[in-house]
Amino acid sequence: MAVYELNNGQLLRIARSIDGKLQQQYFSLIGLNKAKQADVREQATALDEKWRDLQDKAKGKRVREATTGKKHSTGIRGINLVYRPSPAFRVHVQTKGKGFVREFSVKRLGDDKAWKEATKYLAECRGYKSAPKAWVDSMPKVPKKAKK
């Protein structure tokens, strides 16, 4: 909860960062009776819940649209192309505080199947019903030898 009490409980501050912008609002409890203070607290918690939903929605959008520019990047955040010693797609994702890592060998499965399995696993870890079409269609070219 992002509702903070200030000045010995005389003020309430609601603050959340949504899309990199700080949203905050203050509520005064000075001179109010207990019933009105309870109403103000309810308004503050309702606003905090609304902003929390917006914050979660913005975070989900950032995660879906984020890309990495690394040397072994596939263009999909969470899937990299590694060489062990043959090429493989490594899915590395963190969900609910737990890290998940799994590799799909191109040599063993083939380019297409390894990519489909990697995107399917990433979508499963992130809680999607299925892998987005943009992921499945954006399979990178797999070179035969590692880049140095």
pLDDT of the residue at 145:
63
- What pLDDT is stored for residue 67 in this prediction? 60
Question: Could you tell me which of 44, 49, 36 has the C-alpha nearest to residue 13?
Answer: 44
* Residue whose token pair is 């700080």: 22
- Indicate the residue type of 90: R
Q: Can you tell me the distance from the alpha carbon of 2 to that of 24, in angstroms, rounded to the nearest whole number? A: 10
The CA distance from 96 to 50, in Å, is 22
User: Could you give phi then psi for residue 8, rounded to 5 degrees?
Assistant: 55, 40
Helix (H, G, I), strand (E, B) or coil at 75: coil
Per-residue pLDDT of the chain (148 residues; tens, 9 = 90+): 688 888 888 899 999 999 889 999 999 999 999 999 999 999 999 999 999 999 989 888 887 776 655 567 787 888 888 888 888 999 998 887 788 899 999 999 998 999 999 999 999 988 889 888 888 888 888 776 655 5
Q: What pLDDT shows up at residue 121?
A: 93
Query: What are the tokens at 109?
Result: 């499965």
The pLDDT score that the predictor gives to residue 126 is 87
What is the structure's pLDDT at 63?
72
Neighbours of 148 (CB within 10 A): 4
> Residue 88 pairs with which residues in a beta bridge?
82, 105
